Amino acid sequence: MLTSDRGRIQPPNLDDRVWQDLVDEALALIPKYAPQWTDYSPGDPGRTLIELFAWLVEGLIYRLNRVPEKNYIAFLNLLGITRDPAVPAHVFLTFTAQPPAAGHPAAPILVPQKTQAHTIGSETESPITFETDEDVNILPLNLKTVLLIKWDTWNTTTKKGTYADITGDLAAALVSGYPVTMPAQPATPVQILLGFDGSTSLPIQLRLQLSQPVQVTSSGGNDQIQVAVSWTYSSATNEPSNWLTPSSVIDNTSGLLRDGTVSITVPTNWTSQAPSSWTTVTPAPSTNPINDARFWLAITLTNTTQATTTSIGFNYLLFNAVSAHNALTIPNPELLGQSDGTTPFQVFQLKNRPLFKRPGTNMPYDHLVIQVNGVTWTQVDDFPAGAGNFYRLNPVTGEISFGNFDPTRGQPGTHGTIPPVGAQITAATYRYIAGGLSGNVGIGQVTALSKLLPGIASVTNLSASFDAADEETIEDTLSRAPMALKSRDRAVTVEDYEVLAREASKEVAIVRCLPPRLHDDQSTPGGWNIGDPWLFAGINRAPGNVNVIIVPDQGINIARPTPSKDLLQEVQTYLDRRRDLTSSLLVSGPYYLPIAVTVNVTVWKRAISQGMIGGPNDVVTDIQNKLQQYLHPIYGGLDGKGWQVGQSVFIADLFKAIMPAENIGFISSLTLAAEAPAYTPNTRPAQPASPGAWVSVADYELSCYGTSSKITPTTL
């Protein structure tokens, strides 16, 4: 079995193999070379010798057959191709401050970066430890209630709306894109109310992650933001529709255009209100009245397009929370060894590997500090010519290497200084990945601090940890290696862009690079000539332009996953540093083509009478779920591995995916059709007429479930 040693792909152990074929071949040759030998039974001494020599020869054959694989792996190791390391679990820790002493003003409690919290272990399982990624100030109040107000009337003297309690959906757990829809009626907003159990004059920092940010459309060269965002707070006897504006709002989400934080400072006239006392807002159906008084902050969302509804989606909204990973900083400096002062390219090994790759930065491993005799040396990707206090890092294997310049000789053609003889090589600090999938923990499991913090009462995770992955399998590394060798960290071909886009972020699940494309015919009337660039969907495919489409994995509950602006920028920045300077690069999200499916299903009456199903609606629900699963961009298809950009949808495959059991019923008719594209502008190349037996998807489009799909049952 192939094994891993500090990220290296190890050559296979050349071991035994089945020898039956060799025995059978030797027995078959007996009549030709020894016709007088007639006893082939297992008890014959000659048969025993055949089996013995077959056992020896098959070992040699096995080793011979493994030589190409051994040489290939040795070649990859020589070029530094290693297995992708494990990805640490990511979680958000919410802290609760102890109430301030009587007569003492409320003050924030600093939870410093590198604070560690862990799960409670057992006799069979070790605790899972998470470490905070940044400093956070914890305020002595808590976010207790989140309400969603939908207004029926707003710009009238008699305002009227209803509220629903969405605390569990938005603030108490990580959800998969909680949607908030703004109606098309002019100036009729939606409000999200955040209720706190206390007030403060200190800035309140909220952390938001959006599954669907506010959309921006372009018209006539001008960008139009589809949702206006404003903040208010409860004061005096005013009701939610006319609360006051905070004294300060620092919004680095730019109005919910991207993930980030919002810092709000509320004046001293912040007052608590009980929703049961409101007259213009009443509980929505099936919502119990809320009698607890809270100090409220309101996010008012107004549809600025007014022509159609628009939506945004939240993954979470957290308060007194900080990001943390299952990646730990070494507690004490680590002595790596001593330099001999003469050997070029000396290598020293860190005790822990792989190193944590800090996201969102051009220097992801700057947490590593290497010192030579107490002097900090500089980390570089490649040694510059001549002398210099530099070192290189292999973050996967945890190897630190120095150059080959000897100050005592100063020979030409050298790069980077060799540490002096006897110099102590020390890792003053670094952060390493503590675990992969083992770091995935459920809600409320991280409840213990590794070191008590004054003023902090408790810690917990209101959402399960996520994003964890184990080390890449050797088989995946071997299959990825040719593309990695081809690109060599440079984006030239289409394949290069796609490989590097996946390297840029583990969030990228689907990637497609669109090369330039020109019209080659005018079979369908259009405003172009032969040789003009494709401009469908607003994508400029002129020569020199490279368009990269990326799709993140946001869970199976998100029917149309869309990358955040932060992810788009991260991939854009990563590719910009590696692309040809003469090319123009644009990284964008998917261009969805919804697929409408019309199904007529016949249900056997005997299946109902025998209690196999409750009724036809059970079959409808089952087919509906199968449809949504099959057409999911990330988890769809017959193999459950999702769709690729430009992959067409065929009725034969869909039939296999949604057909009911034979003893339940059968599909009597099935058709496919493309809905209007879910992108703007929605111009697309000519396609075969629909509905039909297949839907032709343009090379830039990605299939998804169409909301106009219809399932009609009959009984027989």
Residues 40-71 pLDDT 10s: 788 788 888 888 888 888 777 677 666 677 77
Distance of alpha carbon 463 from alpha carbon 173, whole angstroms: 4
Distance of alpha carbon 119 from alpha carbon 518, whole angstroms: 57
CA dist list (Å): 529 to 202, 533, 540, 618: 62, 9, 15, 53
Among candidates 259, 261, 266, which has minimal Cα distance to 297? 266
Maximum average pLDDT range among 276-290, 469-483, 622-636: 622-636
Domain boundaries, the chain: 4-78, 90-136+436-460, 143-319, 327-433, 474-588, 591-715
For residue 584, pLDDT beyond 60: yes
For residue 694, pLDDT beyond 70: yes
For residue 177, pLDDT beyond 90: no
Q: Which residues contact residue 43 at a Cβ distance below 8 angstroms, ignoring those fewer than 6 apart?
A: none
Q: What is the DSSP letter of 536?
A: G
Which residue type is seen at 176? S
The helix, strand and coil proportions of the chain, stated in percent and rounded to the nearest 5, come to 20, 35, 50
pLDDT of residue 1: 43
Task: Calculate the CA 144 to chain-centre distance.
Answer: 29
Which residue type is seen at 414? T
Of the pLDDT bands very low, low, confident and very high (cuts 50, 70, 90), residue 606 is very high
- 3-class secondary structure per residue, 169-217: HHCCCCCCCEEEEECCCCCCCEEEEEEECCCCCCCEEEEEEEEECCCEE
More confident residue, 361 or 138: 138
- 3-class secondary structure per residue, 214-244: CCEEEECCEEEECEEEEEEECECCCCHHHCE
pLDDT of residue 549: 96
Residue with tokens 């000519």: 686
Distance of alpha carbon 422 from alpha carbon 400, whole angstroms: 17
Residue with tokens 């990284």: 587
Can the peptide bond before residue 127 be classed as cis, meaning omega within 30 degrees of 0?
no
Containing 280, the helix (H) or strand (E) segment is: none
Q: What is the pLDDT of residues 243-252, one digit of tens each?
A: 999 999 999 9
Of the pLDDT bands very low, low, confident and very high (cuts 50, 70, 90), residue 206 is very high
Residue with tokens 């493309």: 674
Angle at 83 between CA 79 and CA 86, to 5 degrees: 145
First vs last C-alpha separation in the chain: 56
- DSSP 3-state of 339: coil
Calculate the average pLDDT of the chain. Answer: 87
- 3-class secondary structure per residue, 649-664: EEHHHHHHHHCCCCCC
Of the pLDDT bands very low, low, confident and very high (cuts 50, 70, 90), residue 9 is low
Among 62-76, 413-427, 644-658, which stretch is predicted with the lowest mean pLDDT? 62-76
> Which tokens hold the place of 714?
């009959």
pLDDT of residue 123: 83
Q: Which residues contact residue 407 at a Cβ distance below 8 angstroms, ignoring those fewer than 6 apart?
A: 387, 417, 418, 420
- CB-CB contact of 215 with 313 (8 Å): no
- 3-class secondary structure per residue, 635-647: CCCCCCCCCCCCC
Q: Which residues contact residue 158 at a Cβ distance below 8 angstroms, ignoring those fewer than 6 apart?
A: none
Query: What percent of the chain has a predicted confidence (pLDDT) above 70?
Result: 92
pLDDT of residue 15: 47
pLDDT of residue 482: 78
Residue with tokens 């779920």: 625
pLDDT of residue 420: 93
For residue 19, pLDDT beyond 80: no
> Which tokens hold the place of 278?
């409101």
> Which tokens hold the place of 213?
């940010």
- DSSP 3-state of 136: strand
- CB-CB contact of 96 with 482 (8 Å): no
Query: What percent of the chain has a predicted confidence (pLDDT) above 90?
Result: 48
pLDDT of residue 2: 47
pLDDT of residue 10: 60
Can the peptide bond before residue 35 be classed as cis, meaning omega within 30 degrees of 0?
no
Q: What does CATH list as the number for 143-319?
A: 2.60.120
Distance of alpha carbon 417 from alpha carbon 412, whole angstroms: 12
- CB-CB contact of 452 with 374 (8 Å): no
For residue 182, pLDDT beyond 60: yes
Of the pLDDT bands very low, low, confident and very high (cuts 50, 70, 90), residue 410 is low
Residue with tokens 């400072």: 265
Cα dihedral 274→279→285→287 (10° resolution) = 0
Angle at 674 between CA 673 and CA 676, to 5 degrees: 140
- CB-CB contact of 670 with 523 (8 Å): no
Of the pLDDT bands very low, low, confident and very high (cuts 50, 70, 90), residue 434 is very high
Of the pLDDT bands very low, low, confident and very high (cuts 50, 70, 90), residue 222 is low
- CB-CB contact of 635 with 556 (8 Å): yes
Q: Which residues contact residue 204 at a Cβ distance below 8 angstroms, ignoring those fewer than 6 apart?
A: 139, 196, 263, 264, 265, 266, 297, 319
Among candidates 462, 489, 479, 714, which has minimal Cα distance to 608? 714
Among candidates 378, 353, 352, which has minimal Cα distance to 363? 378
More confident residue, 489 or 694: 694
Of the pLDDT bands very low, low, confident and very high (cuts 50, 70, 90), residue 103 is low
- CB-CB contact of 51 with 23 (8 Å): yes
Of the pLDDT bands very low, low, confident and very high (cuts 50, 70, 90), residue 102 is low
- CB-CB contact of 530 with 516 (8 Å): no
For residue 12, pLDDT beyond 70: no
Containing 333, the helix (H) or strand (E) segment is: none
For residue 557, pLDDT beyond 50: yes
Which residue type is seen at 274? A
> How do strand 216-219 and strand 204-212 relate by DSSP bridges?
unpaired
What's the average model confidence in pLDDT over 115-128? Answer: 91
Among 21-30, 263-272, 439-448, which stretch is predicted with the lowest mean pLDDT? 21-30
Task: Calculate the CA 478 to chain-centre distance.
Answer: 23
For residue 175, pLDDT beyond 60: no
Among candidates 568, 539, 549, which has minimal Cα distance to 511? 549
Among 12-26, 383-397, 526-540, 548-562, which stretch is predicted with the lowest mean pLDDT? 12-26
- CB-CB contact of 118 with 328 (8 Å): no
